[in-house]
A and B are shown apart, each in its own frame.
Chain A
Amino acid sequence: GEDVEQSLFLSVREGDSSVINCTYTDSSSTYLYWYKQEPGAGLQLLTYIFSNMDMKQDQRLTVLLNKKDKHLSLRIADTQTGDSAIYFCAESDAGNNRKLIWGLGTSLAVNP
């Protein structure tokens, strides 16, 4: 079945770059997403990438997609304490409702 895997924890120093990795199994995935979850707040869409793209950059965020290896990464440049949160990788299937299949989430801790 479909599966999305992420490492559970990442700790970085403020100002460094963070790289959060994700692997997925469904080769028919059309879109891949990164969401951020802060305590007490709803999941927030950070960015997404279409499966025929290799890279997408949006300000401090860079998404890399290796479709052959089914590997997705999110790089956060100049990580700040406000970036501390749980980051979820998700893929969507090709159905009409485009339901999302989620990873477990990576807890990012940014140390001053």
Chain B
Amino acid sequence: GAVVSQHPSWVICKSGTSVKIECRSLDFQATTMFWYRQFPKQSLMLMATSNEGSKATYEQGVEKDKFLINHASLTLSTLTVTSAHPEDSSFYICSAREASGSFHEQYFGPGTRLTVT
């Protein structure tokens, strides 16, 4: 089946620094990628939707200048958390939709645990 990887799987950074998370579709081309955030004991919250080659669409309440999303190729999207603060600590998950596949199918990465100290 289609595989999505995320790197790193966990990261600890200091307050005020920026951290980049990569999401790759390993064996398929993803025209659309989604970025989610999950707090402990809470459901996944969609942050933004990115289509390859165009600007990401952010959900209401998500700061686009803080969470920079780049979807420069059909196999790679990146999320950069800029000037991170402890409240940005969370589990970040990406998913990808295959260009030629059913729109029902979103393939999920294993997630990245971000801890800001």
List residues of chain A with CB under 8 Å of any chain B CB. 4, 31, 33, 35, 40-45, 48, 88, 97-100, 102-105
Task: Point out which of B32, B44, B57 has the most chain A C-beta atoms below 10 A from its C-beta.
Answer: B44
CB distance B34 to A4 under 8 Å? no
Interface readout for B21-36 with A: 1 if CB under 8 Å, 0 if not?
A: 0000000000010100
Asked whether any CB of chain A lies closer than 8 Å to the CB of B67, the reply is no
Asked whether any CB of chain A lies closer than 8 Å to the CB of B81, the reply is no
A94 to B46 Cα, complex, angstroms: 16
CB distance B46 to A45 under 8 Å? no
A102 to B105 Cα, complex, angstroms: 15
B67-117 interface (Cβ within 8 A of A): 93, 95, 103-111
Residues in chain A near residue B49, CB distance under 8 A: 97, 99
A102 to B108 Cα, complex, angstroms: 14
CB distance A33 to B104 under 8 Å? yes
CB distance A98 to B46 under 8 Å? no
CB distance B32 to A97 under 8 Å? yes
A105 to B91 Cα, complex, angstroms: 15
Compute the total of residue contacts between A and B using a CB distance below 8 Å.
42
A83 to B24 Cα, complex, angstroms: 27
Main SS at interface, chain B: strand
Task: Indicate whether A45 sits within 8 Å of B42 (C-beta atoms), given known contacts A40-B110, A97-B32, A99-B49.
Answer: no
List residues of chain B with CB under 8 Å of any chain A CB. 4, 32, 34, 41-46, 49, 57, 93, 95, 103-111
Task: Point out which of B43, B57, B93, B109 has the most chain A C-beta atoms below 10 A from its C-beta.
Answer: B43
CB distance B106 to A105 under 8 Å? no
Residues in chain A near residue B45, CB distance under 8 A: 102
Residues in chain B near residue A100, CB distance under 8 A: 44, 46, 106
| Min distance, Cβ A100 to any Cβ of chain B, angstroms | 7
Residues in chain B near residue A98, CB distance under 8 A: 103
A46 to B4 Cα, complex, angstroms: 17
CB distance A102 to B106 under 8 Å? no
Known: A97-B49, A100-B46. 17 other contacts (CB 8 A): A31-B104, A33-B104, A41-B110, A42-B4, A42-B93, A42-B95, A42-B110, A42-B111, A44-B108, A45-B105, A88-B43, A88-B44, A98-B103, A99-B49, A100-B106, A104-B41, A105-B43
